[in-house]
Amino acid sequence: MGQVLKLIPVSLIQKTAKKTGSDFAVKKFDTKNHLYTMCYAVLGDITGLRHISDGLVAMGGSLSQIGISYVPPKSTLSDSNKNRPSNVFAQLYEGLYEYYYPFLSDRAVPEPLLAKAYAIDSTTMSLFKAILKASGRKSKDGTSVGGIKSHIQISLIDELPRNVKHTSAATHDHTFLKDLELNAHDIAIFDKAYVDYQQYALWSRENIYFVTREKDNAKSTLILERDLPNDKDFEILLDEEVMKRYKDANKQDHQLLLRRTVVWSEKHQDIPKEFRFANKQTLNPTVLY
């Protein structure tokens, strides 16, 4: 654990704490001790506040070797988790990412598409406990959706998160689309079907590419069908341009030209045999293959 914590520059912690004011009026349990304590909990897979405090006390003199100068009682740890702004830890992560960014991957490898590609996904962290009632509303099938949903934008060149947002578990994933940090010629890749043509139109105007599944009941007008090579191993079954109609926030009708492909998946042939993707039309037919 000490070797892991030494990878976090103390100067970065101090700088971030000063910037966010997270140590204002704090006497003992400062940001550094708080960060190290929570790292101990994560690495040790400890979920109870009392167990965290008891475990640190049991380490005795070893605490100085990993940089922890104060062991908080359960009440202090609880108050700090509640009152210290979570933004300080978000900024620490961003600072670490920038600090180690030059060492994360081999930039000598020419991967222009991969360097601009981002995977968009989410995961739900349940807040259920045997002694607690499930939080959150009930879904249509009667199951609870209580908890926290973590929406993540992952850079595929180094497979690390670039953008993270937390919402309630009941929040739909597509709400994260407007929070994505994308520049011209970036590629956003989704593993779920989202219907937000207004957002797709905005990205298209900004030269931002996207790849997403198409809903089975999605309606479109065929504009052009591209010829495919006569190769039995060619996995793309259909390549066409389609027109989608949608309404904006003011209920005004609009049209959006998209490129749609149907892809055969040998790996998932026992689930659906075809995956339909809708993505921004490009001048180069192979740029997203």
What tokens does 203 get? 């990205």
pLDDT at 35 over 60: yes
pLDDT band for position 269 (50/70/90)?
A: low
Q: What is the amino acid identity at position 23?
A: D
pLDDT recorded at residue 272: 42
pLDDT at 71 over 60: yes
pLDDT at 280 over 70: no
Q: What is the amino acid identity at position 163?
A: N
On average, the pLDDT of the chain sits at: 80
pLDDT band for position 289 (50/70/90)?
A: very low
Residue with tokens 């009930």: 138
Average pLDDT over residues 31-52: 89
By the 10 Å C-beta count (0-12 exposed, 13-18 middle, 19+ buried), 284 is classed as exposed
pLDDT at 286 over 50: no
Instruction: Please report, for the chain, the start and end positions of each structural domain, with discontinuous segments joined by +.
Output: 2-102, 213-289
pLDDT at 63 over 90: no
* Higher local confidence (pLDDT), 138 or 206: 206
pLDDT band for position 31 (50/70/90)?
A: very high
The pTM for the full model equals 0.61
pLDDT recorded at residue 17: 93
Burial 23-60 (b: 16+ CB within 10 A, else e): beebeebbbbbbbbbbbbbeeeebeebeebbebbeeee
pLDDT at 147 over 80: no
Backbone torsions φ then ψ of 129, nearest 5 degrees: -140, 155
Average pLDDT over residues 161-185: 86
CB 215 within 8 A of CB 274: no
| Distance in angstroms (rounded) separating the CA atoms of residues 145 and 126 | 8
**pLDDT tens across 183-236, in order?**
998 999 988 887 888 888 889 889 999 988 888 788 888 898 888 877 766 678
The DSSP call for residue 144 is B
pLDDT recorded at residue 288: 34
By the 10 Å C-beta count (0-12 exposed, 13-18 middle, 19+ buried), 285 is classed as middle
| Distance in angstroms (rounded) separating the CA atoms of residues 256 and 178 | 18
pLDDT recorded at residue 146: 60
